[in-house]
Structure 1
Amino acid sequence: MKSILALALGLAFLGLSIPQANAEGSTPEKDWTLMVFLNGDNNLDSFGTADMKEMEMVGSNERVNVVVLRDTNKLNVSSKIFHVEKGSSRMVKDYGSNIDMGDWQNLVEFFRYTKENFPAKNYFVDIWNHGGGWKKKLEENDPQRGISYDDHSGNHITTPQLGEAFRQMQQLNGGKKIGILGMDACVMQMAEVAYEVKDSARIVIGSEDNEPADGWAYQLFLTELLKKPEMSAEELGVIVEREYARSYDGGVQGRKTVQGSAVSTEKLTTSVESLNAFLSQAIALAPIYHSQFKDAMKRVQQFGEPAFKDLQHYLMLLRGTVDPGLQQLIDDALKALGEAVLGNFITGSGLGNSHGIAIWIPDATYLQAKRSQYAELNWARDSLWDEFLDAILVPKFPLLSIGNMNVRDQDGDGFLKPGEAFTVEVEMKNESTTAARDVRLSMTGPSGVAVISPPIVIPAIEKGSMKFDGPSAILDAGVSPGSYSFRIQAEINGIGMIEKDFQVQVDKEYTLEDYAVSTPHPYPSNMKQEWEISKAGAEGIRIHFARFETETRFDTVQVFDKAGNLVLTLDGIKDAFWTPVIPGDLVRIRIQTDGSVAQYGFDIDRIAY
Structure 2
Amino acid sequence: MKKIKIIQLFAAAALCSGQAGAQNIDFDNLPSIMDITAQASQIAAPAPQAVRVAQEPAPAQTSAPKEWTIMVFMNGKNNLADYILKDMNEMEQVGSSDKINIVTEAGKMAYTAPSNPYNDGWGDFPDINPWNNYYMHPGWPPAPSFNTPSTETAETPSVDSWVGVRRYYVQKDNDTSKLGSLLVEELPKTDMGDWNELVEFTRWAKAKYPAKKYMLIVWNHGDGWITKSLKISLPKGISYDDETGNGITTVQLGQALAKIGGVDIYASDACLMQMAEVVYELKDYAPVIVGSEETEPGDGWDYAAFFSRLTSSLTPTALAKAAVEGYAASYSAKGQAATLSAIRTRNADNLRGLLDQWVTLAMAQDKAKLNEALRESTGFKGADSRDLLHFLSITGVKLPELQAKGAEIASLVSSMMIKNAPVGSTYKNAGGLGIYLPYYSFDDNYSKLAMSKTGKWDSFIKWMTDKEPAAPTAPAAPTR
Normalising TM by the smaller chain, what interval? Answer: 0.7 to 0.9
Give the TM-score taking structure 2 as reference length: 0.73
In 2: Cα distance, 1:143 partner to 1:245 partner:
32
Secondary structure at the counterpart of residue 35 of structure 1: strand
Return the letter of the residue paired with 1:313: H
1:364 is displaced (CA, Å) by 3.4
Indicate the SS of the match to 1:245.
helix
**Preserved CA contact (<8 Å) 2:168 2:183:** yes
Per-residue CA distance 1:297-319 (angstroms, 9 max, x = gap): 11110112251110111000011
Q: Report the 3-state secondary structure (helix = DSSP H, G, I; strand = E; otherwise coil) of the residue aligned with 2:425.
A: coil
Partner of 1:299: 376
Q: CA offsets per residue over residues 156-177 of structure 1, 9 Å max, x none?
A: 000000000000111xxxxxx4
Distance change in 2, residues 1:306/1:129 (3 Å): closer
Residues 48-127 of structure 1 aligned to structure 2 (within 5 Å): 48-74=84-110, 77-87=163-173, 88-95=180-187, 97-127=188-218
- Tell me the distance in 2 between the aligned counterparts of 1:388 and 1:345: 29
User: Whole-Å Cα distance in 2 between the matches of residues 124 and 40 of structure 1?
Assistant: 20
- Provide the rounded CA distance (Å) in 2 between the counterparts of 1:89 and 1:313: 44
Conserved? CA contact 1:274–1:336, under 8 Å: no
> 1:382-428: CA deviations, max 9, x gaps?
22111111222226xxxxxxxxxxxxxxxxxxxxxxxxxxxxxxxxx
Q: What does residue 244 of structure 2 align with?
A: 153
Report the secondary structure of 2:69's partner residue.
strand
The partner residue of 2:417 within 341, 355, 380 is: 341
Of 216, 226, 234, the residue aligned with 2:301 is: 216
Deviations 1:338-377 (A, max 9, x none): 2122111011231111000011111233x1xx22x11110
5+ unaligned residues in a row in structure 2: which ranges?
Answer: 1-49, 112-161, 174-179, 476-480
RMSD: 2.4
Select which of 359, 369, 387 maps to 2:459. 387
How many Å separate the matches in 2 of 1:50 and 1:359? 32
Task: Report the Cα offset of residue 262 of structure 1.
Answer: 0.4
1:178 pairs, out of 263, 271, 289, with: 263
User: Where does structure 1 lack aligned partners over 5 or more consecutive residues?
Assistant: 1-11, 171-176, 396-430, 437-491, 497-609
CA pair 354-14 structure 1, distance change in 2 beyond 3 A: closer
| Cα 1:77–1:323 shift into 2, 3 Å | closer
Cα deviation, residue 142, structure 1: 8.6
2:431 to 355, 366, 374: 355
CA shift, 1:14, in A, is 5.9
Residues 214, 28 of structure 1: alpha-carbon distance in 2 compared, 3 angstrom cutoff: same
**How far, CA to CA, are the matches of 1:142 and 1:241 in structure 2?**
33
Residue in structure 1 matched with residue 407 of structure 2 by the alignment: 331
SS class of match (1:273): helix
Whether contact under 8 Å (1:13, 1:94) holds in the other structure is no
Distance 1:364 1:139, change over 3 A: closer
- Residue 16 of structure 1 and its aligned partner are, at CA, apart by 4.3
CA-to-partner distance for each residue in 1:499-538, whole Å, 9 max, x for gaps? xxxxxxxxxxxxxxxxxxxxxxxxxxxxxxxxxxxxxxxx
Matches of 1:305 and 1:18 in 2, distance apart? 43
Measure, in 2, the Cα distance between the counterparts of 1:387 and 1:159. 20
1:291 shift after superposition: 1.6
State how far apart, in whole Å, the 2-side matches of 1:13 and 1:181 are. 28
Task: Look up the equivalent residue of 1:194 and give its one-letter code.
Answer: V
Q: 1:56 to 1:21 in 2, by over 3 A?
A: closer
Aligned-pair CA distance for 1:42: 0.7
- Please tell me the residue identity of whatever aligns with 1:381: K
Distance in structure 2 (CA, Å) of the matches to 1:58 and 1:103: 30
The answer on whether the counterparts of 1:27 and 1:117 sit within 8 Å (CA) in structure 2 is: no
1:239 CA displacement: 1.6
Is the CA contact 2:257–2:282 (under 8 Å) kept in the aligned structure 1?
yes
Tell me, yes or no, if structure 1 residue 240 matches structure 2 residue 323.
Answer: yes
Q: Distance in 1 between matches of 2:99 and 2:85?
A: 25
Change over 3 Å in CA distance of 1:102–1:306 after alignment to 2:
closer
State the AA in 2 paired with 1:85: Q
Matched residue, 1:309: 386
Equivalent AA in structure 1 for residue 267 of structure 2: G
Q: Does 1:31 align with 2:103?
A: no
Per-residue CA deviation, residues 191-236 of structure 1 (Å, 9 max, x unaligned), is: 11111110000111010001111111101121122x32x4211221
Task: Determine the structure 1 residue equivalent to 2:157.
Answer: none
Report the Cα distance in structure 1 between the residues aligned to 2:428 and 2:420, rounded to whole angstroms. 11
Check 1:126–1:27 CA distance in 2 against 1; reply closer, same or farther (3 A cut): farther
Query: Aligned match of 2:219 in 113, 128, 141?
Result: 128
- Distance in 1 separating the partners of 2:335 and 2:400: 43
1:275 aligns with 2:355: yes
> Structure 2 CA distance, aligned partners of 1:391 and 1:244?
38
Aligned to 1:405: none
Determine if contact 2:235/2:249 at 8 Å carries over to the other structure.
no
Structure 1 residue ranges, 4+ long, deviating more than 6 angstroms after superposition: 141-144
Preserved contact between residue 354 and residue 405 of structure 2 (Cα < 8 Å): yes
Query: Equivalent residue of 2:290, what SS?
Result: strand
Structure 1 SS opposite 2:164: coil
Q: Deviations over 1:41-68 (max 9, x none)?
A: 0111111210000001000011100101
Distance in 2 (CA, whole Å) between partners of 1:304 and 1:27 is: 48
Note the alpha carbon deviations across 1:241-262, whole angstroms, 9 max, x for none: 1110111112xxx221001000
2:449 corresponds to:
377
Instruction: Flag the structure with higher strand content.
Output: 1
In structure 2, distance between residues paired with 1:149 and 1:28: 36
Provide the residue aligned with 2:53 in structure 1: 15
TM-superposed CA distance for 1:143, in Å, is: 11
- More relative contact order in 1 or in 2 (CA 8 Å, sep 6+)? 2
Equivalent-residue separation in structure 1 for 2:51 and 2:388 (angstroms): 50
